[in-house]
């Protein structure tokens, strides 16, 4: 077997460039950094809120901020993004507010999904951010289908879709890859290889020498990139997006990274993650790497960095206070938003439920 080439990088372990840096403005670089820091701080607060019993669940992305932010930054606003549940930073980058994301985690009446989704499973139609789904891989064929529709309509749209290494063991992954290859769809796939499918390590997930190499079986290119290097992710993604937009077909990007936290708030990684591996990857924290780069390039001072983090924390706190003072979704919302007119049997069930709560003054009868 041929020796596996190391993932592509642009920054060294100290955050200093080892190659050509992408042509990005200072504002664009700082927007990416802010999205990464916001994701980390939301992760920290979300896990605490769950432990305190104030929200029911949280899925973090500690250690993977560079993977999805670098990928998302390479797409146009008019392109569609099909996320998995560790892609908070792309929603932030595209303009989703912290407050609306916190309301979604609480499932309030101000959550535009009306509490119908699990916490931090966002959906933002206005910024072309597709609904996050808990079942693995379901978003991958959706992304290919949307790209095929754009191709038929001659729309200038590329679809980007992200998923974890565990998702490559699902049938939907193979179906979507095959369809994309056969029809040459303008789709860019991002496999965030964080080394774990919950508690299942990579070596029990695939016998392939990499995940990127799987693209060859479907007739298109695959590339391995350092998933903790946001600049390398951006560069590889931009090249793949431009190729797709110009009719060159799909690309599979494997972002080699590490999940530095639990799979979710329901998981205990101490039972299976080797501490020495976690410590090694912590020394290459993607936010620390990018922070060092920005400081060295005089794009961000320490005082500006501290002010940024304090502002984000304040916005998160304001979002928590807003959500905890908000009403919950109404009973009527259970049967709305599916039909133009609510069918009689659903209306009857909702009315029965309201009567039930009306007879129980000890319970919240309206929500």
Q: Which of 84, 142, 259, 284 is catalytic?
A: 259
The per-residue pLDDT for range 238-278, each reduced to its tens digit, is 999 999 999 999 999 999 999 999 999 999 999 999 999 99
Average the pLDDT over 303-325 and give the result.
98
Q: Which of 121, 142, 224, 263 is catalytic?
A: 263
What is the three-state SS of 6-17? CCECCECCCCCE
Question: Options 3.20.20.70, 3.30.413.10, 3.10.310.10, 3.40.50.970; which CATH number does 26-328 get?
Answer: 3.40.50.970
> Is residue 272 among the annotated active site residues?
yes
Which among 200, 196, 193 is positioned nearest to 214, based on CA atoms?
Answer: 193
Report how far residue 140's alpha carbon sits from residue 161's, in angstroms, rounded to the nearest whole number. 6
Query: Which helix H or strand E contains 82, and what residues bound it?
Result: strand 80-82
Which pLDDT does position 2 carry in this prediction?
56
Which pLDDT does position 366 carry in this prediction?
47
Report how far residue 308's alpha carbon sits from residue 174's, in angstroms, rounded to the nearest whole number. 42
> Is residue 245 among the annotated active site residues?
no
The per-residue pLDDT for range 174-183, each reduced to its tens digit, is 999 999 999 9
Burial of 168 (0-12, 13-18, 19+ CB in 10 A): buried
Q: Residue 367: is its pLDDT beyond 60? A: no
Q: 222: which strand partners?
A: 252
> Is residue 263 among the annotated active site residues?
yes
In the chain, domain spans: 26-328, 330-367
Q: Which of 272, 311, 347, 360 is catalytic?
A: 272
The per-residue pLDDT for range 110-167, each reduced to its tens digit, is 999 999 999 999 999 999 999 999 999 999 999 999 999 999 999 999 999 999 999 9
């Amino acid at each position: 077997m041929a020796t596996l080439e190391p993932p592509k990088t642009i920054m060294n372990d100290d955050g200093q460039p080892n190659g050509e840096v992408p042509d990005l403005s200072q504002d664009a670089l700082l927007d990416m950094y802010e999205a990464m820091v916001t994701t980390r701080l939301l992760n920290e607060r979300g896990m605490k809120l769950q432990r305190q019993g104030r929200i029911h669940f949280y899925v973090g992305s500690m250690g993977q901020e560079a993977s999805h932010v670098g990928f998302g930054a390479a797409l146009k606003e008019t392109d569609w993004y099909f996320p998995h549940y560790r892609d908070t930073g792309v929603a932030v980058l595209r303009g989703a507010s912290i407050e609306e994301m916190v309301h979604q985690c609480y499932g309030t009446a101000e959550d535009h999904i009306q509490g119908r989704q699990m916490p931090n499973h966002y959906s933002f139609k206005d910024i072309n951010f597709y609904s996050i789904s808990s079942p693995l891989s379901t978003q991958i064929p959706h992304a290919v289908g949307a790209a095929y529709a754009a191709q038929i309509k001659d729309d200038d749209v590329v679809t980007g879709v992200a998923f974890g290494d565990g998702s490559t063991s699902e049938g939907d992954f193979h179906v979507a890859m095959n369809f994309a290859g056969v029809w040459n769809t303008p789709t860019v796939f991002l496999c965030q290889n964080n080394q774990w499918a919950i508690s299942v390590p990579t070596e029990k997930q695939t016998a392939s020498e990499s995940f990127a190499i799987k693209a060859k079986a479907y007739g298109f290119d695959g590339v391995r990139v350092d998933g903790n290097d946001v600049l390398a992710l951006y560069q590889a993604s931009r090249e793949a997006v431009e190729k797709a937009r110009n009719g060159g077909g799909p690309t599979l990007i494997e972002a080699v990274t590490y999940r530095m936290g639990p799979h979710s708030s329901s998981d205990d990684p101490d039972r299976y993650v080797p501490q020495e591996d976690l410590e090694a990857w912590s020394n290459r924290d993607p936010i620390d790497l990018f922070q060092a780069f920005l400081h060295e390039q005089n794009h961000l001072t320490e005082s500006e960095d501290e002010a940024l983090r304090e502002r984000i924390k304040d916005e998160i706190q304001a979002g928590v206070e807003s959500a905890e003072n908000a009403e919950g979704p109404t009973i009527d919302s259970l049967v709305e938003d599916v039909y133009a007119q609510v069918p009689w049997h659903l209306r009857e069930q909702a009315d029965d439920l309201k009567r039930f709560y009306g007879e129980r003054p000890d319970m919240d009868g309206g929500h």
